[in-house]
Structure 1
């Protein structure tokens, strides 16, 4: 079966050269005529592609032209139609971040990997954490805190010593970044349906910024994070190399 492909590529030289070769070999169609999107780049470009196509029902198959490529497949120009036909699909839901800012505005962002709060000045952040309307921790004094999806649990979350979550598990990871008080707090695993709220304490003295997949909102006063079940991202992987296998592999290196 030969599906109609819409190729997308990052601006990097390697990805652009790959785009030229693949289009010459397989052709390309506009997104609204395609049956599958093939993204060429690294994990950052894959996230960009998923955000850009979040209202599209099309699956996305990534080929690594970057560095880590956790969300990507191995790059090869051979047998692309056969690889697409054999690919296994993972469906993930993003997080929705709602942030209230010092100027009275409210920002709404989607994040596939994680939503993070980070100190915006020289002093540690001081946060109050509530889950489903109940205060669970006050104060958390730290460089930051984040909420991660299973798909994002091997990214910033893992670097901050958070847990790796199995794909398909109905949970989120809540992880502190360099906690100072309480020193021994190791974070929490929450139900996927949970609504997490961060209130910024002493915001003038200890400013805080919020990020969703690298998109920043400065001087936040509070941030709410929840899973967004109305949006589903379809990601294709070569057989035996899906997110579940990659998550397992990350724990044995």
Structure 2
């Protein structure tokens, strides 16, 4: 097998959460371009458009709706995907949310919801998909962390705590499952143009401060994650596990 062939995902089934737009949609399309069939999950909105685009590439795709802020949301989603398309060989835990407020005023219900979506559902989907992967003797799990897995951020305590948890969960699962040929890694995006960062982009002062800190001098576009996602989903990364791969235009190197 040549090196480029190792990046192919022909016939693999990938489940991508939060695939209706932004980073999730870009990752779903990238995996499809590499040959994967894709189960496209939508949390707050349907992922029909992403699924339709994947099908236009000649791959199989379906759209699934599930509320990952509910305690049974991950179970509901996984059951629907397996019943319709089979057990995923690649899982991308991308769905996430953010709530901004000062720590002293942070609403506890908002805290619980952010942690449920960003961390609890990631563990549960990894657990469900991981069981089938372990039984099959092969699998790839990619969690979407954040720069705030390394830094504390400002006015986003629940998001920072949950993304720090995602990074550590990634390492914990990697340690347990590596010997059974299931690789678990994470991508930590920097500042990307998505709905979650819309407030920052619109704040003239914060936008300027962020751009001054990024050596690349620009916000990331969702497609900038494509290469990292395909690499971690493919045989090219078979000896990579427990990694939190930063894709940030150089922010962390500054």
Tell me if both proteins adopt one fold, taking TM over 0.5 as the criterion. Answer: no
Q: TM-score normalized by structure 2?
A: 0.28
User: Which has the greater radius of gyration?
Assistant: 1
Q: TM-score normalized by structure 1?
A: 0.29
| Structure with greater strand percent | 1
